[in-house]
Structure 1
Amino acid sequence: MRHLILEEPFSRPAKWSPMLAWFALAVTVMAVLLIRFGRIDYQSGFVALGTGLAIAVVAVGMSLVAFVRIWQEGRRGLGSAIKGLVIASLVLAYPAWLGFRAVTLPPINDIATDTDDPPSFSRSRVALDARGGRVPPDVPPEAREAQREAYVQIAPLTLDLPPDEAFELVQKAAANLGWQIIETVPPGGRMGAGRLEAIDRTLILRLPDDVTVRIRPRADGTRIDIRSASRMGTHDLGTNAQRIRAFLEEASNLALAVN
């Protein structure tokens, strides 16, 4: 006499979770690549990126529902549910980190080492053409106050070097960091101050941000101030402060090598 072995049914959410997670990963990677290499306009690219992240959230939800049903009803599919959760979590990990930074950092997108007299961006034809005609707007006092509270370590750099040597050092630091230098004005002349205008891009999406560096002669050397402003969004997630820290560290290391 034959005995029938009845298997518990496979959880449907567990089946869908990894499929949605893989699809979310594919959409997200494609959107990132299209934005990074300029194959799509930013608005459409961010819509596609948001769609991929939303699908990943649904995949996580499917995994959680599957866990509940497997626990309560003894259905099969635990491995599939775990796979979907892991893949979706990988898709959401970096955006979750950015979300944490958005909550813990002030919503500002323009940082300067001199909050009382921040360096101004050049309005020359060369600089405007490179920035697509854009000039970062003046920052209101409350935003500068928020910067002072959040980024107390952002301060001017004073070098025991003459202005012309400091100017060369600034250019070298910008080049070492991979900035696109669009205009340089050596110190001297009527105003005495020199400047460097540049464009830097974010690490993953390669979004353009604008940077200006001011070189001012002092009795004891040269003072260097830097301002970095995001072109998109009202919250830079700490990107501009990181860029300024990297520049100040690079310039300081180059100055130590000179001395």
Structure 2
Amino acid sequence: MRRLIVEEPVTRAAPWALRCGWFAVAVVAIALLLVRDPRAETGPALAALGAGIAVALLAVALALGAFVRVWNEGARGLRTALGGLFLAALVLAYPGYMAVRGAVLPRLTDIATDIADPPSYSRSRAAYAARGGALPPEIPPAARVLQREAYPQIAPLTLDLGPNEAFALALKAAGNRKWQVIEAIKPGGRVGNGRIEAVVRSRLLGLPYDVTVRVRPRADGARIDVRSAARYGDRDFGQNADHIRSYLEELSNLALAVK
């Protein structure tokens, strides 16, 4: 009497989900290295990063398809599909977080503590070179209204210190935040205001953000205004406001320490 050997069905989607998951991890890792490398072109590197995210989404779809067949037919491949889903989740975790922030926050690329009279960016040769030859455009009135609604806590910082002392602390705070300072002009001269021009890079991607700090002398001390603008994309996902908040917090702590 012959025995009938019944082979359990095996889902093909599971191994493909795992392959796509590993491929997405590799592509995103290479793209992150390119984005953070100042010698590489940022545009193609961001395109490669987007391709890696798309492959990760494909891995999720394949894993979900494998789960359906495992549930309905008892097919093998559950662990493989879970592996692909896990790898895809690693790739998509941060983009998903940023997508949520982008959905909640308004589409802004330029934030300033003074929306009525935002600090102007330097037009010097060194500043233009640091910004890649670009000059952030002026903030339109509509964007100013959106900023006021989204970030009511973004406001100037007033210090009861002399302008020169306040400028020194502002420069120190920029160094503590690991900003790349391009220019540092002390208060005085014809205009009277001090200015710090810098480039800030995001932690993960290392994308550049152009920042300018204005130190304006007052009768009772000095007023600090900060402006931060994204260099790429049509929205900043709250990064500019984060730069300003962290900087002013650092400056406030330094000012308290000298009293």
Same fold? TM cut 0.5: yes
Quote the Cα distance in structure 2 between the aligned partners of 1:199 and 1:2.
77
1:15-71, Cα deviation, whole Å (9 max, x unpaired): 211111111111111111111113532221122111111111111111111111111
1:190 correspondence with 2:190 = yes
Paired AA for residue 235 in structure 1? R
* Aligned position for 2:215: 215
After TM superposition, list the pairs within 5 Å mapping 1:67-106 onto structure 2.
Answer: 67-106=67-106
Cα deviation, residue 5, structure 1: 4.2
After TM superposition, list the pairs within 5 Å mapping 1:109-128 onto structure 2.
Answer: 109-128=109-128
Distance 1:102 1:93, change over 3 A: same
Kept after mapping to 1: 8 A contact 2:9/2:73 = no
Cα deviation, residue 6, structure 1: 2.5
* Aligned position for 1:154: 154
Quote the Cα distance in structure 2 between the aligned partners of 1:258 and 1:102.
39
TM-score normalized by structure 2? 0.97
Quote the Cα distance in structure 2 between the aligned partners of 1:131 and 1:13.
46
Quote the Cα distance in structure 1 between the aligned partners of 2:249 and 2:143.
25
SS at match of 2:197: strand
* Aligned position for 1:22: 22
Quote the Cα distance in structure 2 between the aligned partners of 1:118 and 1:98.
27
Paired positions, count: 259
Quote the Cα distance in structure 2 between the aligned partners of 1:140 and 1:156.
19
Gaps of 5+ in 1: none
Structure 1, 240-249 or 202-211: larger mean CA deviation: 202-211
Paired AA for residue 90 in structure 1? L
* Aligned position for 2:247: 247
Gaps of 5+ in 2: none
Paired AA for residue 41 in structure 2? D
1:136-178, Cα deviation, whole Å (9 max, x unpaired): 1101000011000000100000001000100100000000000
1:50-106, Cα deviation, whole Å (9 max, x unpaired): 111111111111111111111111111111111111111111111111111111101
Cα deviation, residue 2, structure 1: 6.3
Cα deviation, residue 3, structure 1: 3.7
Quote the Cα distance in structure 2 between the aligned partners of 1:122 and 1:152.
26
Kept after mapping to 1: 8 A contact 2:21/2:56 = yes
Quote the Cα distance in structure 2 between the aligned partners of 1:39 and 1:126.
18
